[in-house]
Every structure is written in structure tokens, then in C-alpha cells.
């Protein structure tokens, strides 16, 4: 993510009720609805931070040093436990995982922590007495792309496969440590994977390639392609794909400054190309006719990296999408099944302060 206002990276927690902000000045944690700062760890405690991830709404944070004034190495993941009563910040660092290469991503669930490097992914038990369960080699993965299903029923992990444009799915509950189980591979795209996300229940995986024009959804059990969604016709860099809590909708943000919203449960709500009415005219045009265009969209500051997620439903016919940008802005839009989309809230989250330390 391009850094602005000292923000190095942004990340939602597992149910998207909070987001955490890794900054040149430490870490800040926010509640999404209502928007409020839940806590912060300052430069003196942590130094500058490249990555931060939180475990649900608990007292555990995973922190990776980086930026211009780091106190901790980019080769280590440190687990900060704010429940430990101590004035010395070193006492709150309860675990440390150290690697030979920089850490690019961290994902957590109630019983496991996933740490992604550029060509390898590690899986540990967590948080008590962590032991390494697995190591997976990946193709070159400069963004550390991976996702982990938070559901108690499904322990699914996804990351780029060895073949260009492929996804590898691993069921962590059925894979025995030390064995090389046959990987489940989905051939999703022809070019390199740029973005990947699992639904909350782990039944569906969504991905986009570096071209960024199409988002494809696959059934994680059968590997069948479920639907193809078109973000646009011009290439774009996708920053984020996210499912609604019940998997009825999907949102996606890109460097075009547009957040797109697609219907998944009732795909008839999505827009179709005008050419669909006249039938296919040729193979190239046919591609545009077949794919589905977004039900609704809204804009955020152009080329400003942002993450997006769905808010909690307030009524049956009104849903909301939240976009949080690295320039410090917070956007909330509500949309209806007929495609109406209106801004409900705008704020500058970096200007919201809480007097208490985290």
C-alpha cells in the first residue's frame, strides 16, 4: 500500500468490526461502527510499524517492525498482550517468531497463526505454547498474499499456487503435520494473482489477477467456478476483495479510486453489458457480455489505497460498505438491491483521538 499520512498498512479484524493501522508513529486500533479509536501504541513503545493484525476483539496484537524508525525487525512477528499489567512495554511482548526473510503478512484465528514470507508460508498453533505445524513453499509472492477462514467449522487457508494464476487451498484440519498432502489447486487466472479472499464460512474463494479486470469466485469444495464479476475493462491494481457476513455480496477496491459492490446470492441484481440483449457478436465482445458488472459503486480519493468491508445490516433492504483509506479518510455508503448507493458517513479517522493508551 502506498503510504500516506504515515500509514504503512491497514487491516480489518476477522469479523470486520475493527481495523488496525500500522504507522510510522506506532499502531492505532479503531472500532468501525461507531467509528472510534479503541487504543494506540506509540512510537516510544513500538517504533515505526509495517504490519499489524489483531485477533478478533481480544488483547492480542501481531506486530511487524518496519518503516523509517523501526524498533523491531521486519524479520520478526511480535505478539503484544495488552492484558499483561506492566509499565515496561517489553513485558507485554509475550511471543516472538523470527524468520530468515522479511514478514509480508500475518493472519490469525482462535487456534492458529499464519505468517507469509515472499516464497514461504508458516503455520503455527496459537496462542499457547506455539508449535510449528506446517511450512508451504509458494511461487514468488511479493505481497504475501494469503487468507485464512475465521470460521470454527472450517480451517481453510488459501495462497497463490506454484503455477502462474493458480490458488492453493489447504484444509488445516485434515492435513497432518510433517506430511505433504496433495494440494488442492484452482486454476483461477492466466496472469499472476493480485488479490484473494475467503468468505466468512470458507465455502467460496474470490480472486483477481494483476490485470485487475475480472474477479472470479470458486467453490472451495468442488473447485468449480461459480461466477465471474467484471470490475472494468481497463487494467487496475486491486487492493482488497471482501465478502459480506452472509456471502450475499462482495466488494472490491482498486487504484481507480472506485469501490465496486456485486450481488452474489441473487446475481440477477448485477448489471449486464448492453450487448447482452443483442446476443454474442464475437469472441472478444462475448467476454464482456458473459461477465457481470457491479450492482453499485462509489468513489474514494483516486489512487489512494484503501480496504473495504461490509457494515452490519440495519434493515433487510439496506446494506452498507465501509472504505478505509491510507490518507486517513473513512467512508460509509449505503446501497439498496436496485443499485442506489449514497454516502452515509465521512470522517478522518486519524484525527479521532482517544486519551487512553491501548
pLDDT tens digits, 229-270: 999 999 999 999 999 999 999 999 999 999 999 999 999 999
d(CA 126, CA 132): 10
CA 255 to chain centre: 15
Q: How confident is the model at residue 4 (pLDDT cuts 50, 70, 90)?
A: low
Position 358 in a domain: no
CA torsion sign for 148, 154, 160, 165 is: negative
Q: Report the distance separating Cα 148 and Cα 133, nearest Å.
A: 15
pLDDT for the residue 174: 78
What is the rounded CA–CA span in Å between residue 81 and residue 316?
Answer: 38
> CA of 201: how far to CAs of 76, 221, 241, in Å?
30, 12, 15
Which residue do the cell numbers 503484544 mark? 80
Average pLDDT over residues 135-164: 94
The CATH number of the domain holding residue 145 is 2.130.10.10
Which range is least confidently modeled, 23-27, 118-122, 288-292? 288-292
Taking phi over 0 as left and psi of -120 to 50 as alpha, with beta for the rest, 339 belongs to: left
- Read off the pLDDT of residues 185-240 as tens digits, 9 standing for 90 and up: 999 999 999 999 999 999 999 999 999 999 999 999 999 999 999 999 999 999 99
Predicted confidence band of residue 286 (pLDDT cuts 50, 70, 90): very low
pLDDT at 81: 87
Q: Which position has the grid cell 461502527? A: 33
Contact criterion met (CB below 8 Å) for 36 and 354: yes
What the block records as the C-alpha cell of 22 is: 500500522
Reduce the DSSP state of residue 289 to 3 states and report it: helix
Q: Which domain holds residue 220?
A: 7-351
pLDDT in tens, 307-330: 999 998 766 778 999 999 999 999
pLDDT averaged over every residue in the chain: 89
Q: Looking at residue 152, what is its pLDDT?
A: 83
Helix/strand/coil (H/E/C) assignment for every residue in 20-58:
EEEECCEEEEEECCCCEEEEEEEHHHHEEEEEEEECCCC
Sheet holding 156-160, edge to edge: 147-148, 156-160, 166-171, 184-187
Q: Do the domain assignments include residue 357?
A: no
pLDDT of 340 reads 94
Would 356 be classed as within a structural domain?
no
Distances (CA, A) of 297 to 258, 271, 343, 351: 7, 11, 11, 26
Cα 249 from Cα 266, distance rounded (Å): 9
Residue 180 reports pLDDT greater than 80:
no
pLDDT bin (cut points 50, 70, 90) of residue 82 is confident
Mean pLDDT, residues 60-70 = 95
Quick one: pLDDT band at residue 302, thresholds 50, 70, 90? Answer: confident
Residue 27 is assigned to a structural domain of this protein:
yes
Task: Note whether 349 and 35 are within 8 A (CB).
Answer: yes
Binned at pLDDT 50, 70 and 90, residue 153 comes out as confident
pLDDT > 90 fraction of the chain, expressed in percent and rounded: 77
Q: 130: burial class by Cβ within 10 Å (0-12, 13-18, 19+)?
A: middle
| Residues facing 320 on adjacent strands | 334
Among candidate residues 343, 339, 342, the one with its CA nearest the CA of residue 330: 343
* Sheet with 329-335, edge to edge strand ranges: 306-310, 319-325, 329-335, 341-348
Does 275 reside within a domain? yes
DSSP string, 85-97: --SSGGGGEEEEE
Q: Is the pLDDT of residue 161 over 50?
A: yes
What is the total count of domains within the chain? 1
Does residue 25 register a pLDDT over 90? yes
2 is a domain residue: no
Instruction: State the pTM of this model.
Output: 0.90
d(CA 204, CA 31): 27
CB-based contact 156:150 (threshold 8 Å) = no
Amino acid at each position: 500500500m502506498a503510504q500516506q499520512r504515515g500509514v504503512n498498512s491497514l487491516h480489518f479484524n476477522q469479523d470486520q468490526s475493527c481495523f488496525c493501522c500500522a504507522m510510522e508513529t506506532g499502531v492505532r486500533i479503531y472500532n468501525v461502527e461507531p467509528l472510534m479509536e479503541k487504543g494506540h501504541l506509540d512510537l516510544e513503545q513500538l517504533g515505526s510499524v509495517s504490519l499489524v493484525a489483531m485477533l478478533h476483539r481480544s488483547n492480542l496484537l501481531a506486530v511487524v517492525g518496519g518503516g523509517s524508525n523501526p524498533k523491531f525487525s521486519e524479520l520478526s512477528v511480535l505478539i503484544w498482550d495488552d492484558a499483561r499489567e506492566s509499565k515496561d512495554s517489553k513485558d507485554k511482548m509475550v511471543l516472538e517468531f523470527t524468520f530468515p526473510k522479511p514478514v509480508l503478512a500475518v493472519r490469525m484465528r482462535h487456534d492458529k497463526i499464519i505468517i507469509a514470507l515472499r516464497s514461504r508460508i508458516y503455520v503455527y498453533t496459537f496462542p499457547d505454547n506455539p508449535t510449528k505445524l506446517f511450512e508451504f513453499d509458494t511461487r514468488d509472492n511479493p505481497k504475501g498474499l494469503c487468507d485464512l477462514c475465521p470460521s470454527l467449522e472450517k480451517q481453510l487457508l488459501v495462497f497463490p499456487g506454484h503455477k502462474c494464476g493458480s490458488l492453493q487451498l489447504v484444509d488445516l484440519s485434515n492435513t497432518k503435520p510433517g506430511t505433504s498432502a496433495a494440494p488442492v489447486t484452482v486454476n483461477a487466472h492466466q496472469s499472476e494473482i493480485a488479490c484473494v479472499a475467503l468468505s466468512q464460512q470458507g465455502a467460496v474463494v474470490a480472486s483477481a489477477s494483476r490485470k485487475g479486470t475480472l474477479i472470479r469466485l470458486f467453490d472451495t469444495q468442488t473447485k468449480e467456478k461459480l461466477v465471474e464479476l467484471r470490475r472494468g475493462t481497463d487494467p487496475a491494481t486491486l487492493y482488497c476483495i471482501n465478502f459480506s457476513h452472509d456471502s450475499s455480496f462482495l466488494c472490491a477496491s482498486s487504484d481507480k479510486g472506485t469501490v465496486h459492490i456485486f450481488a452474489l446470492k441473487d446475481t440477477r441484481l448485477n448489471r449486464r453489458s448492453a450487448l447482452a440483449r443483442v446476443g454474442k457478436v464475437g469472441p472478444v465482445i462475448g467476454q464482456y457480455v458473459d461477465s457481470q458488472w457491479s450492482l453499485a459503486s462509489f468513489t474514494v480519493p483516486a489512487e489512494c489505497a484503501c480496504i473495504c468491508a461490509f457494515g452490519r445490516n440495519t434493515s433487510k433492504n439496506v446494506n452498507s460498505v465501509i472504505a478505509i483509506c491510507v490518507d486517513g479518510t473513512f467512508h460509509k455508503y449505503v446501497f439498496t438491491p436496485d443499485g442506489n448507493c449514497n454516502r452515509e458517513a465521512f470522517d478522518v479517522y486519524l484525527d479521532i483521538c482517544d486519551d487512553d493508551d491501548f
